[in-house]
Amino acid sequence: MSVAPAATADRAFVEELFARHHGEIFAYLLRMVRDSDMAADLAQDTFIKAYKAIDTLEDRAKARAWLYQIAHRVALDDIRHRRLVRFLPITTEAHGAAPSAEHLAMEMRLSGPMARALARIPERQRAALLMAEVGDLTGLELASALSVSHVAARALLTRARESLRQALADEKRQEKEREAAIDAAFETKTRSSGPRSRAGAGNSKGTDR
């Protein structure tokens, strides 16, 4: 049994693409869908789709933007799919799987304002920003990846930057408010229980934390 030379060359080309770009494609997808396993699945999907559609790549010098284009579509498809289908675990454990207050607090504290702001802006804008700023795609490459004109890509990028700027400012403001509220609550508690805390060897502090 033999493999057609063209098929072998295509396969080798896709393997080379994978070797060169799988890291950045995975990073892009992870920031789009915010789930590492999902991002890995989508990255896998991206390269398989690329292999299937290798004949549509006219200029192999532009393969990187083409890969981003596929990854972008794959990500948007997934995000739309997840909007339509709300996954609910069908298990007896489902009732116990609701996020705890601690977990929610953890999420708020531990994902930075930038990550939260990025998650708030529209997907297409997020995609444009990630490809341009993180993926370092040129304007033409970005336009190709987004399947829009160069002018439209630039406009999208401008809107994305403005959206992110506002979202980021909002996130930082909210974070300050939360910190102020925590500080105020802590001060109130310290004042009300100060003498007892000092006398009581600080046990309540351990509990509170």
Pick out residues in 145-164 that bind other proteins (CB under 8 A): 154-155, 157-158, 161-162, 164
Take residue 39 and report the two structure tokens written for it.
Answer: 């991002």
Give the separation between CA 46 and CA 62, rounded to whole angstroms: 16
Which of positions 95-124 make contact with other proteins (CB under 8 A)? 96-100, 102-103, 105-106, 109-111, 114
Least distance from C-beta 52 to other proteins, angstroms?
A: 6
Q: How far is the CB of 46 from other proteins (least distance, A)?
A: 9
Q: Residue 46 in contact with residue 74, Cβ under 8 Å?
A: yes
Q: Identify the residue among 85, 90, 191, 195 touching other proteins (CB under 8 A).
A: 90
113, 166, 207, 208, 209 from 178: Cα distances, Å? 13, 18, 21, 18, 17
Task: Establish if 127 lies at the interface with other proteins (CB under 8 A).
Answer: no
List the interface residues with other proteins, window 56-85 (CB under 8 A): none
Span 10-39, contacts to other proteins by CB under 8 A: 11, 14-15, 18-19, 22-24, 26-27, 30-31, 35-37
CA 138/CA 133 separation, integer angstroms: 10
N- to C-terminal Cα distance for the chain? 67
Which of 59-67, 71-79, 170-178, 197-205 is the region at the interface with other proteins (rule: CB under 8 A)? 197-205
Structure tokens at 24: 């950045």
Within 8 A by CB and 6+ apart from 65, the residues are 137, 140, 141, 142, 144, 145
Count the site residues for other proteins by CB under 8 A: 75
The interface region with other proteins, picked from 45-53, 59-67, 73-81, 170-178 by CB under 8 A, is 45-53
